[in-house]
C-alpha cells in the first residue's frame, strides 16, 4: 500500500479521495456523505480542510471535486463510522502507522533545531550549499546554451542524485536534510563541494551538459562508496549512526 498520509503545511493529513475505494466505497461522494452526516463530530476534532481533486486520467472528466483532508483523530472517527470489514481494519492499522511516522518526523525536526551541534553543522553547510547553487545556476545557463529545454530541473535532479548515492532512505520525507543527523549533514556538505567542482570542471572542459551531470553523479557515487551509505530509518532514531557500506 502506498503512503497515504501527507504533510499539509506542517500537519499530517490524509485525503478522503485516497481512502474511499480502500474503505469499500464505489464513489468518493459516498464516503463524503458519511462525513457530512456527522459534520459536528468531525468539527469537534479539528478544522475540516478541503482540497480540489482533478478527475483521474481515463475518466469521463468533469469538474474537479472536493476532498476532505483529515487529521489523525478525524481519520479514526471516519473508520469507526465506516463498514467494519477486514480491509477497513487493515487500512486503519496502516494509516495509523503512517501518522505515527509523521509525528516522529516532527519530533526529530524539533529536536534537531534545539541541538546546538546540529545547528552548527547545518549552518556550516550553508556556504557550500550556496557555492553549489551558484555552480548549478552557471551549469543551467550552460545547458540552455547547448539547447536544453528543461535545464531548470537540474536544481532538483542534482539534490535527488546526491540523496540517492549518499543515503538508503526507507521512507519519503518532506525535507530530508531537516531529519538528518550531524554525521549525515557533514556528508552532505562534502557532497555539495564535490558537485560544485564537478560542474565547474565540466564547463571549463566544455563537455556536453549531460556528460557534466554524469561526471557529478559519478564523483558523488565514488565518494559514497568510500564513505559508506547511511540508512535513514522510518521510525527509529538512526540519524546519528555510523555509515555502512551498501551491500553489492
**Residue 37 pLDDT greater than 80, yes or no:** yes
- Quote the pLDDT of residue 246: 42
Q: What's the mean pLDDT in 196-202?
A: 96
Of 19-23, 24-28, 87-91, 229-233, minimum mean pLDDT range = 229-233
Of 35-44, 53-62, 72-81, minimum mean pLDDT range = 53-62
Question: Residue 232: enclosing H or E segment and its boundaries?
Answer: strand 230-232
- Quote the pLDDT of residue 33: 93
What are 131-178's pLDDT values in tens digits?
888 999 999 999 999 999 999 999 999 999 998 999 887 666 667 777
From the list 11, 75, 78, 74, the residue with the least C-alpha distance to 44 is: 74
- Quote the pLDDT of residue 127: 65
Q: What is the mean pLDDT of the chain?
A: 83
Of 39-43, 128-132, 202-206, minimum mean pLDDT range = 128-132
What are 66-99's pLDDT values in tens digits?
899 999 999 999 988 987 788 888 888 889 888 9
Q: Is 107 helix (H, G, I), strand (E, B) or coil?
A: helix
Rounded to an integer, what distance in angstroms lies between the CA atom of residue 186 and that of residue 206?
31
Of 46-60, 80-94, 187-201, minimum mean pLDDT range = 46-60
Burial of 123 per CB tally in 10 Å (0-12, 13-18, 19+) = exposed
Q: Which of 63-77, 103-117, 173-187 has the highest mean pLDDT?
A: 63-77
205 or 247, higher pLDDT: 205
Amino acid at each position: 500500500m502506498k503512503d497515504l498520509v501527507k504533510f499539509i503545511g506542517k500537519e499530517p493529513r490524509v485525503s478522503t479521495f485516497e481512502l474511499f475505494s480502500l474503505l469499500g466505497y464505489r464513489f468518493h461522494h459516498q464516503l463524503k456523505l458519511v462525513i457530512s452526516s456527522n459534520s459536528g463530530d468531525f468539527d469537534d476534532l479539528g478544522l475540516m480542510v478541503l482540497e480540489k481533486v482533478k478527475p483521474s486520467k481515463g475518466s469521463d472528466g468533469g469538474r474537479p471535486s472536493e476532498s476532505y483532508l483529515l487529521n489523525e483523530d478525524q481519520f479514526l472517527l471516519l473508520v469507526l463510522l465506516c463498514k467494519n470489514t477486514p480491509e477497513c481494519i487493515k487500512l486503519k492499522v496502516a494509516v495509523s502507522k503512517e501518522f505515527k511516522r509523521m509525528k516522529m518526523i516532527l519530533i526529530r525536526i524539533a529536536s534537531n533545531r534545539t541541538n546546538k551541534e546540529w545547528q552548527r553543522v547545518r549552518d556550516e553547510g550553508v556556504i557550500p550549499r550556496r557555492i553549489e547553487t551558484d555552480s548549478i545556476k552557471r551549469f543551467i545557463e550552460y545547458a540552455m546554451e547547448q539547447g536544453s529545454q528543461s535545464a531548470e530541473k537540474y536544481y532538483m535532479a542534482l539534490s535527488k542524485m546526491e540523496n540517492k548515492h549518499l543515503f538508503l532512505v526507507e521512507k519519503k520525507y518532506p525535507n530530508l536534510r531537516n531529519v538528518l543527523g550531524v554525521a549525515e549533514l557533514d556528508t552532505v556538505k562534502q557532497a555539495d563541494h564535490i558537485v560544485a567542482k564537478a560542474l565547474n570542471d565540466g564547463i571549463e572542459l566544455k563537455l556536453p551538459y549531460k556528460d557534466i551531470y554524469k561526471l557529478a553523479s559519478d564523483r558523488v557515487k565514488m565518494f559514497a562508496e568510500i564513505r559508506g551509505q547511511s540508512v535513514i530509518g522510518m521510525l527509529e532514531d538512526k540519524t546519528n549512526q555510523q555509515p555502512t557500506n551498501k551491500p553489492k
